[in-house]
Amino acid sequence: MRVLFISRATLFSTRGGDTIQMEKTAAALKSWGIDVEIATANQKDIDYSSFELIHFFNLIRPADILYHIRKSKLPYVVSPIYVKYDQMGKKNNAFSVQGFLSLFPASFQEYAKCIARSLLNQEKIVSPEYLFMGHRRSIQYILDRCKLILPNSQSEALRLQSEFQYTGGVCIIPNAVDTEIFYPQPEIHPNPKAILCVARFEPRKNQLNVIKALSHTEFTLTLVGDVAPNHQAYYQQCRKIAGDNVRFVDFVAHEKLAALYRTHKVHVLVSWFETTGLSSLEAAACGCNIVVSQYGDTRDYFEGYAWFGDPDDPDHILQTIKEAASSEKNFAPYFLKNYNWHKAAQQTAEAYKMAIKIK
């Protein structure tokens, strides 16, 4: 079987968790007899005739999908990666762009952001019909015609079903880690005062409140990640308030990232919303104790195996970090067994076979 993966135009220029999910799934699917080609939404020279199925990623960007549905006329499945931004907007300064947009319905917020990306980031809207259909109707159109949705958790599936009129098939495909890179090394003893946060700098990832929680404490905080497009001001705000015990590191390759995880006792990612938090999975697989957000789909992955922080409360974040840092629990075996790309690819391959049979 040949399958075409399609996602946002900036998939490789602005790498994120979705980039890793697509690349690792594509590579692992080969062992299940499935050949994958990855394309970005702005490509218009695709030979669709050589594929049996399209797998779209990022339902929150329907303008990237509509064109290829109509042009290809192929059956398709969708990994929604359905992030919600409304919680973050409520907490932002009302005079910020995100704070202003939060005054409007979520569908209008995403519509406005799509147009802004086309103007500021040169992410051309490849589906002109999106402009008159609007954001919500575009998502509904995609859901009405897809063979299956492949959410990363049951929580994500329920959220989509409650917000849209979707009654079709669902196959849960949990996110995963590369167990050849991310695994513990017992001979390495992490510093119990060393805290790590791996994420692109953007308001949703909430590095600002983590810095507020840990600056001028007995802990050291290392923040690893590039600055997301249009969020340079947020990054500068993070640097401005950081104490001497906080350091900033640009993008780090996976092999070196694994070494960082192993030398830090705690990884913290208390975002305003996470469908998973891939860096949390990676850190846990390397033996970190992890502090994650209480918002989003995190409990489907981490309930009983992590500490949950309140993104809006730096004091609570600090308290949960202290608890995680003082614990001798080791959850790495659990994550290595349950969240690996071989297993995720097997589940994905089974979903494809099911999708092809659906009339």
> Same topology for domains 2-176+340-357 and 191-338, yes or no?
yes
Q: At what angle do helices 17-29 and 341-357 cross, to 10 degrees?
A: 80
The predicted pLDDT at position 115 comes to 66
Task: Give the model confidence (pLDDT) of 25-51 as tens digits.
Answer: 999 999 999 999 999 999 989 999 999
Output 288 or 116, whichever has higher pLDDT: 288
Q: Which range (9-23, 32-46, 184-198) has the least confidence?
A: 9-23
Question: Is the domain defined by 191-338 classed in CATH 3.40.50.2000?
Answer: yes
Give me the pLDDT at residue 271, please: 97
Q: Token pair of 278, please? A: 């891939």
Q: How far apart are CA 66 and CA 138, in angstroms?
A: 8
Tokens of residue 251, six digits: 């993008």
What pLDDT band is residue 126 in, cutting at 50, 70 and 90? confident
pTM of the predicted model as reported, rounded to 2 decimal places: 0.87
Residue ranges per domain, the chain? 2-176+340-357, 191-338
Residue-wise pLDDT tens digits, 75-120: 999 999 998 776 555 555 543 555 545 545 566 567 566 666 666 6
Own/partner contacts of 67-75, CB < 8 Å, gap of 24 or more, are 67/41, 67/126, 67/127, 68/6, 68/41, 69/142, 69/145, 72/4, 72/46, 72/48, 73/48, 74/4, 74/48, 75/147, 75/355, 75/356, 75/358
Written as one letter, the residue type at 342 is H
Q: For 148, phi and psi rounded to 5 degrees?
A: -150, 155
Q: Identify the helix (H) or strand (E) that includes residue 348.
A: helix 341-357
pLDDT of residue 105: 57
pLDDT at 7 > cutoff 90? yes
224-251 average pLDDT score? 94
Q: Rounded CA gap, 147 and 142, in Å?
A: 10
User: Position 59: which residue type?
Assistant: L
Portion of the chain with pLDDT greater than 70, in percent:
90
- Summary mean pLDDT of the chain: 91
Q: Identify the band that residue 17 occupies on the pLDDT scale cut at 50, 70 and 90.
A: confident
Q: What is the mean pLDDT of residues 303-322?
A: 98
CA 291 to chain centre: 16
Of 292 and 124, more confident:
292
Residue 140 has pLDDT above 90, yes or no: yes
Q: Which CATH class is domain 2-176+340-357?
A: alpha beta
Confidence of residue 54 (pLDDT cuts 50, 70, 90): very high
